[in-house]
């Protein structure tokens, strides 16, 4: 809402304003259309002052100042040249008398979270006329995706809270947690234009969600802003790692250190939720690694004040804004991705909100909920032949896929999901009890451009099972020919016998750690380990569910919940995943 100063009497007349910003804060010029201003409408001095006040607001809205903290300025003046009718910024707070008696223009100040623009005609003379307009100066809530690094600038895809890199050690990495990410070197950080006090406001429920992969667990800051609140008490909004390597967050005047230790080198999802509508103000701090069961949610009574910094408003990423140069010993080292801030009139169910903000730590996940789509990165599968939806292991209709054993029934994913070691594939299977021979659960393969029917043999990374003839077996299925010009291929068909109850669901997990280490798990328990040499081949560009690359070894039975991870899942994580998702 705009507030107009009524002391000068006249109602603002809206005019069409043509603004051309040639430069800013040095020799900035606003070219204005003066015909209607001076002749057709015969503006009096009060109308003209109102016009200049409105021009000041528009100038502030439109300018993309090279001075990064343009909106922190408390006062500057733009005055009209009496000859050219152009508005030029005056560096001094006021021009010398008598020059300003014959000039007109506007003064702009940003106080608290508002813009104040005062239009003045014949300043400091007996003919002076002034109008003041006050309007909120808001940029919206940010969504920083970290997918682009250009001109040392961090783009905001939701609001106007761009950021500027301080230092030279931030680089763009692919893949990030989603698409790209930024890697901080421990000597650089980002200044943003986001002001929590203005954009969120005290006493408002909100969440802060982001992904982080620290390189170490030394004391450091992911993001932060600190200063005084409106009662002149110390106030901070920040998150990072404590001196003893644990998660740490701040909201208001009290820090909170959690008992969980930080895991260096792995993506983790951090969610801070402030619920103002609870009987007591609480902060929910969520840490999620790759497995839902490893999720740790801390509900903490906020016994101190819960207020946002009123001074030093701008948030830094990779460091803390304390009003002076940030402490270089606390610069963040690692990757950050998908940073988002959301406000709520009423916080949704906390469990539902955490589920919403905490997708699986996977590069591809196929829940088969009515289709073969990947719900993480859009690596959607194509259902081939007569592969059909059936009931899943929980009895939900059309929530798994049945494979008939026909070599035309499979699901193919035309994407290069995996590019290097390590990676892990997890799936639930229910094979038929009458199948004979080896049946493939999944394979990563190489397309054959000359054979659209997937006649591929040079590269296969996968797993298969055999129920009959006895003994029942499960194995790796790996064939790798990294250089066809060199005779011989790398093979690994390590297998193990196990007792299998027909027509029941089992979770199969295969971990490809590096070229010398692989493990296969059945229902969360280690079944096979292999150390045979198997170099990774970058020619993989196809993921197949239910069949090998060749038109053979086809699966007969049901498959569900296929997930591909670009990391090693530990034995503890795999067991937790089984316990979390079994019947």
- pLDDT of residue 90 exceeding 70, the answer is no
- pLDDT of residue 373 exceeding 80, the answer is yes
Report residue 421 as tokens.
Answer: 């070691």
> Residue 364's pLDDT is what?
92
- pLDDT of residue 15 exceeding 80, the answer is no
- pLDDT of residue 77 exceeding 60, the answer is yes
Give the integer Cα–Cα distance in Å for 26 and 430: 72
Write down the mean pLDDT value for the chain.
Answer: 77
Q: Which of 30-34, 421-425, 430-434 has the lowest mean pLDDT?
A: 30-34
Q: Which of 414-423, 427-436, 552-561 has the lowest mean pLDDT?
A: 427-436
Give the integer Cα–Cα distance in Å for 290 and 359: 9
Report residue 42 as tokens.
Answer: 């015969």
- pLDDT of residue 516 exceeding 70, the answer is yes
Q: Which of 130-134, 181-185, 373-377, 533-537 has the lowest mean pLDDT?
A: 533-537
Sign of CA dihedral 563, 567, 568, 572: negative
What secondary structure, in 3-state letters, does 150-173 show? ECCEECCCCCCCCEEEECCCCEEE
Q: Which of 61-65, 271-275, 313-317, 528-532 has the lowest mean pLDDT?
A: 61-65
Give the integer Cα–Cα distance in Å for 70 and 521: 58
Q: Ramachandran region of residue 450, left (φ > 0), alpha (ψ -120 to 50) or beta? A: alpha
Q: Can you tell me the mean pLDDT for 411-436?
A: 87
Q: Which of 226-240, 267-281, 445-459 is the most confident on average?
A: 226-240
Architecture of domain 364-581: Sandwich (2.60)
Q: Which of 26-30, 173-177, 475-479, 490-494 has the lowest mean pLDDT?
A: 26-30
pLDDT in tens, 296-341: 666 665 555 678 888 767 999 999 999 888 999 999 999 999 999 9
Report residue 323 as tokens.
Answer: 């009003």
Higher pLDDT, 160 or 188: 188
Q: pLDDT-derived band of residue 411, with 50, 70 and 90 as boundaries?
A: very high
- pLDDT of residue 131 exceeding 50, the answer is yes
Sign of CA dihedral 539, 542, 543, 546: negative
- pLDDT of residue 24 exceeding 60, the answer is no
pLDDT in tens, 158-179: 998 999 999 999 999 977 877 8
Q: Where are the domains of the chain?
A: 3-136, 143-357, 364-581
Q: Which of 7-11, 256-260, 476-480 has the lowest mean pLDDT?
A: 7-11
Q: What percent of the chain has pLDDT over 90?
A: 30
Give the integer Cα–Cα distance in Å for 359 and 367: 12
| Residues 96, 103 contacting (CB under 8 angstroms) | no
Higher pLDDT, 225 or 81: 225
Partnered with residue 166 across adjacent β-strands are: 189
Q: pLDDT-derived band of residue 477, with 50, 70 and 90 as boundaries?
A: low
DSSP 39: I
Q: pLDDT-derived band of residue 102, with 50, 70 and 90 as boundaries?
A: low
Give the integer Cα–Cα distance in Å for 113 and 313: 10
Q: Is 46 in a helix, a strand, or coil?
A: helix
> Residue 404's pLDDT is what?
86
Q: Can you tell me the mean pLDDT for 404-409?
A: 86
Report residue 199 as tokens.
Answer: 């954009």
- Cis peptide before 474, with omega less than 30 degrees from 0? no
| Residues 470, 433 contacting (CB under 8 angstroms) | no
> Residue 88's pLDDT is what?
58
Backbone angles phi, psi at 455, to 5 degrees: -80, 85
DSSP 305: -
Query: Any idea what the Cα angle at residue 84 is, between residues 78 and 86, rounded to 5°?
Result: 30
Collect all residues with Cβ–Cβ distance below 8 Å to 268 and sequence separation of at least 6: 211, 212, 213, 262, 287, 288, 289
- pLDDT of residue 31 exceeding 70, the answer is no
Q: pLDDT-derived band of residue 407, with 50, 70 and 90 as boundaries?
A: confident
Give CA 26 to chain center in angstroms: 36
Element (H, E) at 15: none
Collect all residues with Cβ–Cβ distance below 8 Å to 441 and sequence separation of at least 6: 427, 429, 462, 463, 464, 465, 508, 545, 546, 555, 559
> Residue 318's pLDDT is what?
98
Q: Which of 132-136, 376-380, 398-402 is the most confident on average?
A: 398-402
- pLDDT of residue 4 exceeding 90, the answer is no
Collect all residues with Cβ–Cβ distance below 8 Å to 6 and sequence separation of at least 6: none
Q: Can you tell me the mean pLDDT for 464-474?
A: 71
Give the integer Cα–Cα distance in Å for 51 and 472: 86
> Residue 553's pLDDT is what?
80
What topology does CATH give the domain 143-357?
Jelly Rolls (2.60.120)
> Residue 402's pLDDT is what?
95
Higher pLDDT, 360 or 185: 185
- pLDDT of residue 184 exceeding 90, the answer is yes
Per-residue burial over 509-531, b if 16 or more Cβ lie within 10 Å, else e, is bbbbeeeebbbbbbbbeebbebe
Q: Can you tell me the mean pLDDT for 428-432?
A: 90
Give the integer Cα–Cα distance in Å for 87 and 69: 21
| Residues 545, 381 contacting (CB under 8 angstroms) | yes
> Residue 337's pLDDT is what?
95
Q: Can you tell me the mean pLDDT for 91-99?
A: 56
Give the integer Cα–Cα distance in Å for 340 and 142: 6
> Residue 71's pLDDT is what?
47
Q: pLDDT-derived band of residue 43, with 50, 70 and 90 as boundaries?
A: low
Q: Which of 67-71, 252-256, 424-428 has the lowest mean pLDDT?
A: 67-71
Give the integer Cα–Cα distance in Å for 264 and 332: 12
Higher pLDDT, 452 or 195: 195
- pLDDT of residue 535 exceeding 70, the answer is yes
Higher pLDDT, 43 or 220: 220
Give the integer Cα–Cα distance in Å for 131 and 122: 12
Q: Can you tell me the mean pLDDT for 528-540?
A: 80
Backbone angles phi, psi at 510, to 5 degrees: -120, 125
- pLDDT of residue 481 exceeding 80, the answer is no
Give the integer Cα–Cα distance in Å for 55 and 68: 21
pLDDT in tens, 139-152: 899 999 999 999 89
Q: Can you tell me the mean pLDDT for 20-32?
A: 34
Q: pLDDT-derived band of residue 16, with 50, 70 and 90 as boundaries?
A: very low
Sign of CA dihedral 197, 202, 205, 210: positive
Q: Where would I find the beta strands (DSSP E) of 295-449?
A: 296-301, 316-317, 333-344, 364-366, 382-384, 388-390, 400-404, 410-413, 423-431, 438-445
Give CA 325 to chain center in angstroms: 26
> Residue 296's pLDDT is what?
64
């Amino acid at each position: 809402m705009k507030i107009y100063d009524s002391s000068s009497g006249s109602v603002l007349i809206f005019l069409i304003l043509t603004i051309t910003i040639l430069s800013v804060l040095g020799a900035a010029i606003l070219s204005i259309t003066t015909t209607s201003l001076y002749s057709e409408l015969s503006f009096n001095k009060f109308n003209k002052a109102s016009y200049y006040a409105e021009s000041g607001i528009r100038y502030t809205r439109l300018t993309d100042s090279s001075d990064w903290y343009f909106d922190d300025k408390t006062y500057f003046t733009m005055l009209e040249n009496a000859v050219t009718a152009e508005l030029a910024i005056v560096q001094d707070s006021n021009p010398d008398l008598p020059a300003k008696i014959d000039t007109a223009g506007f003064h702009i100040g940003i106080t608290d979270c508002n813009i104040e623009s005062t239009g003045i005609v014949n300043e400091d003379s007996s003919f002076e006329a002034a109008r003041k307009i006050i309007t909120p100066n808001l940029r919206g809530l940010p969504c920083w995706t970290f997918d682009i690094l250009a001109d040392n600038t961090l783009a905001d895809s939701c609001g106007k809270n761009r950021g500027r890199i301080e230092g030279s050690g931030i680089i763009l990495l692919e893949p990030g947690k989603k698409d790209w990410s930024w890697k901080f070197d421990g000597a650089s950080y980002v200044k943003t234009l986001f002001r929590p006090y203005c954009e969120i406001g005290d006493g408002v429920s909100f969440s802060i969600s982001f992904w982080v992969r620290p390189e170490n667990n030394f004391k450091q800051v992911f993001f932060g802003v600190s200063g005084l609140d409106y009662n002149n008490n110390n106030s901070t909004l920040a998150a990072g790692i404590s001196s003893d390597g644990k998660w740490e967050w701040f909201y208001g005047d009290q820090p909170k250190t959690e008992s969980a230790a930080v895991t260096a080198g792995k993506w983790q999802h951090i969610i801070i939720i402030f619920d103002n509508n609870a009987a007591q103000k609480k902060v929910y701090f969520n840490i999620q690694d790759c497995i839902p069961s490893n999720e740790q949610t801390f509900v903490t009574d906020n016994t101190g004040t819960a207020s946002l910094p009123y001074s030093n408003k701008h948030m830094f990423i990779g460091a803390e804004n304390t009003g002076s140069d940030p402490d270089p010993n606390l610069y963040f080292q690692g990757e950050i991705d998908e940073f988002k801030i959301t406000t709520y009139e009423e916080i949704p169910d906390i469990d539902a909100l955490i589920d919403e903000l905490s997708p699986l730590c996977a590069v591809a996940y196929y829940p088969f909920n009515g289709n073969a789509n990947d719900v993480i990165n859009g690596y959607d599968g194509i259902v081939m032949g007569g592969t059909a939806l059936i009931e899943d292991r929980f009895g939900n209709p059309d929530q798994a896929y049945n494979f008939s054993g026909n070599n035309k029934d499979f699901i193919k994913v035309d994407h290069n999901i995996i590019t290097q070691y390590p990676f892990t594939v997890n799936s639930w299977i229910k094979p038929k009890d009458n199948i004979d021979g080896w049946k493939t659960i999944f394979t990563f393969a190489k397309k054959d451009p000359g054979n659209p029917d997937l006649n591929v043999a040079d590269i296969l990374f996968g797993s298969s099972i055999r129920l009959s003839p006895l003994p029942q077996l499960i194995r790796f299925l790996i064939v790798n020919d990294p250089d066809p010009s060199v005779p011989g291929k790398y093979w690994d068909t390590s297998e193990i016998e196990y007792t299998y109850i027909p027509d029941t669901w089992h979770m199969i997990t295969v971990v490809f750690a590096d070229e010398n280490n692989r493990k296969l798990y059945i229902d969360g328990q280690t079944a096979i380990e292999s150390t045979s040499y198997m170099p990774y081949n970058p020619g993989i560009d196809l993921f197949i569910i239910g069949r090998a690359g060749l038109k053979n070894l086809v699966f007969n039975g049901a498959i569900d919940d296929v997930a591909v991870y670009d990391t090693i899942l530990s034995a503890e994580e795999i067991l937790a995943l089984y316990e979390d998702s079994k019947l």
